[in-house]
Amino acid sequence: MAGSVTLSATDAQGIRRLTLSNPGKLNALDVQMWRQLREAAQDLQQDAHTRVVIVCGEGGTFVAGGDIEEFPQFRFEPTTLAHFHEDIVAPALWALAACDVPLIAQIDGACVGGGLEIAACCDLRLCGSSSRFGVPIAKLGFPMAPAEIEIVARVVGATVLRELLLEARVLGADEALAKGLVSRVVADEAVAAEALRSARHIAALSPQAMRLNKQALRRFACGEPSTRAEREPHFAYAPSAEHREGLAAFNEKRPARF
């Protein structure tokens, strides 16, 4: 039975939940899930009503890697292997990384392989004290695909990624926090509550500001200095209602209504 990626309806605060599910396989990612992830990310990018998304795994695990049972179908021929990574996995990750809606990774348990790649596309990564992080695929005889290295390296940095890939290391939660891989570590039983608390906090802020911040952060992550012509469209928010409301609320000493 194939796994699935599902999006919940938007709640009253503008929060949605993207759930990765592959029962009995610790939510290992199969081809169908990668395709559904891309579709979900594209849907979120077009949804003006969603303010923040919690990305989580079903059943107490985030994602424990790829679905190895599928691997013989495509891993042993260069053309089919390239198709899997270039046309299925990479587009899903890029679509998630390009989403202007804030994404919170609720990391319970294992965050390995493709799970780490998905988490790297999220803005905040919150995990439990027993969570584990790694890409130990060298033990399976293959490297990380180039596009996936590019995505993960933007978050964890080349030094940490070399450690994960070349030593096939799996990091505990505290070490992941020390290396900047996660934003916060809480007790295992508190991860879902912390993710929801963070989502509610973000949902109360200006959606326009969130989207513009994410766009600017993506440009910064590319590493090349931007030009004034590239930066000036950012300031088009000047006359917007959200901008005026935020400043008016501050001056009137009341909560802003975005």
Cβ 50 vs Cβ 44: under 8 Å: yes
What is residue 139's predicted lDDT score, i.e. its pLDDT? 93
What is residue 179's predicted lDDT score, i.e. its pLDDT? 94
What is residue 189's predicted lDDT score, i.e. its pLDDT? 97
Given the structure tokens 């009341």, which residue do they identify? 254
pTM of the model as a whole? 0.92
- Residue extents of the structural domains in the chain: 4-203, 207-251
Distances (CA, A) of 182 to 12, 46, 163, 174, 229: 28, 27, 16, 9, 34
Beta strands at 170-172 and 132-134: parallel, antiparallel or unpaired: antiparallel
What is residue 57's predicted lDDT score, i.e. its pLDDT? 98
Cβ 20 vs Cβ 65: under 8 Å: no
The letter for the amino acid at 63 is V
Distances (CA, A) of 114 to 13, 41, 50, 65: 30, 16, 25, 5
Report the alpha-carbon distance of residue 195 to residue 56 in Å, rounded: 10
Report the alpha-carbon distance of residue 137 to residue 170 in Å, rounded: 11
Report the alpha-carbon distance of residue 117 to residue 63 in Å, rounded: 10
The CATH number given to 4-203 is 3.90.226.10
For residue 41, report the phi and psi dihedrals to the nearest 5 degrees: -65, -40
What is residue 224's predicted lDDT score, i.e. its pLDDT? 62
What is residue 218's predicted lDDT score, i.e. its pLDDT? 86
For residue 161, report the phi and psi dihedrals to the nearest 5 degrees: -65, -35
Q: What is the mean pLDDT of each run of 10 residues along the chain (258 residues)?
A: 94 97 96 98 95 97 94 92 95 96 98 97 98 95 93 88 95 96 97 98 96 89 75 87 90 92
